[in-house]
Amino acid sequence: MCLRTPAERHSVTAPTYAVVNPATGETLKTYDVISDDDLKAAIGRAAAAAGPWGRETSLDDRVAAIRRVAALHTERREELAAIIVREMGKPVQEALGEVDFAAAIYEYYADTAGDLLKDEPIRLLDGDGSAVVRRTPVGLLLGIMPWNFPYYQVARFAGPNLLIGNTILLKHAPQCPESSAAMEEIFHAAGVPTDAYINIYATNEQIEWVIGDPRVQGVSLTGSGRAGAAVAQIAGRHLKKVVLELGGADPFLVLDNDNLDPVVEAATAARMGNGGQACNAAKRFVVLDKHYDEFVQKLTDSMLGMTPSDPTSDDTTLGPLSSVAAAERLEQQVEQALAGGARLVAGGGRDGAFYKPAVIADITPDNPAYSEEFFGPVAQVYKVGSEQEAIALANDTPYGLGSYVFSSDADQANRVADQIEAGMVFVNVVDADGVELPFGGVKASGFGRELGRFGADEFVNKKLIRIG
């Protein structure tokens, strides 16, 4: 999200929502932006639905609706996967996996709703009677979602909040209009009232005044730091709570290891999943000097063994980036890194939206690449001489989302994990995200959590009820 400057606010063009297949460059369909009047009406309907949905509908009925959302994702998995293949170029097998993960998130919240929302007794230190904290809905929420995981991102926001009884306006990324419409249809078919979940094709200018509307009680955004700062600024002026999941330059620490082969396999998976277009992907590989040469050679061989190809093929493991613009941006970042003194170990090169995997090294702190997030199949490798140097380099970043620590020494792994400045640390494992595990970061990676019980605790009124 990039909110407009004052000079631009009177020149909104439409449509801005379109399905453009990044593999072919073909524009498949365009969608009109919602009018101001229709958007104001949508806010009114969603706000009015908050009472009936959150306070008059039983938890059992809300659970049944969300369980049905999960079932419909499973029933329509091939149709849903095909949509995001053409919207953002995700290889079809990964697209199917994303749909399945989204279904699992809804199922998890349906299974655990009773425990997550039950009254929490508080032991009184003085006086008679009792006290409990009761979790109740806050009302209407705005979700601003990114393009890289169109279903998963919505699931981790909408799943718990609809169960809690909040209502939702959902603004998806402009390149995901078809998947966002498909999700809205699923919610309604599952029994979520039409006005309790409304998909909006809104401009950034419109979102500014939506956030400021007093009926909107909170905002959840996943996106860039620039977008997060803009949303937080507007929300702060209006005393609105925000949850922000922003960028990451996640370190992957290669410490004392007996066998590098499984480490390289994990490193490749951590860097190359979703074409490297994940906020929590491993991006900076920090390697002890005794392992450096072997690791870099093996990682280079592994990454360059993946060839970008047709995302509709079941055999494809690396598709195009999400757009030509995204590939051009990555190409520019690599060129700037090399101009700043970095060394291209191997790989690289763009063809339309396709970008070949690359490994770059010798990146110094004065190089722009040192503090940037590379959103694509490019790995940065760093050599360090000690455990403490590895920790210092890992933490020397504006970001603090995820991180990875690989060591055959369990004591070392735990010791280092404790010192990493990040919201998540994965030790000797990758691709281990789970519906029950909280997701979020610190520093410029945002604040708040999604998934698990922590994700269900962000937009609730933790109401104290003290009985004498």
Residues carrying an active site annotation: 245, 279
CA distances from 452 to 155, 221, 269, 429, 456 (A): 12, 18, 24, 19, 7
Give which of 343, 344, 347, 367 is closest to 358, Cα–Cα: 347
The pairing of strands 167-171 and 446-447 is: unpaired
Report the alpha-carbon distance of residue 196 to residue 220 in Å, rounded.
16
Give which of 286, 257, 283 is closest to 384, Cα–Cα: 286
Pair of tokens at residue 446: 């945002």
Contact call for residues 235 and 242 (beta carbons, < 8 A)? yes
CA distances from 37 to 32, 217, 404 (A): 14, 20, 48
Contacts of 42 (CB under 8 A, 6+ apart): 34, 169, 198, 200
Contacts of 29 (CB under 8 A, 6+ apart): 18, 19, 177, 178
Contacts of 236 (CB under 8 A, 6+ apart): none
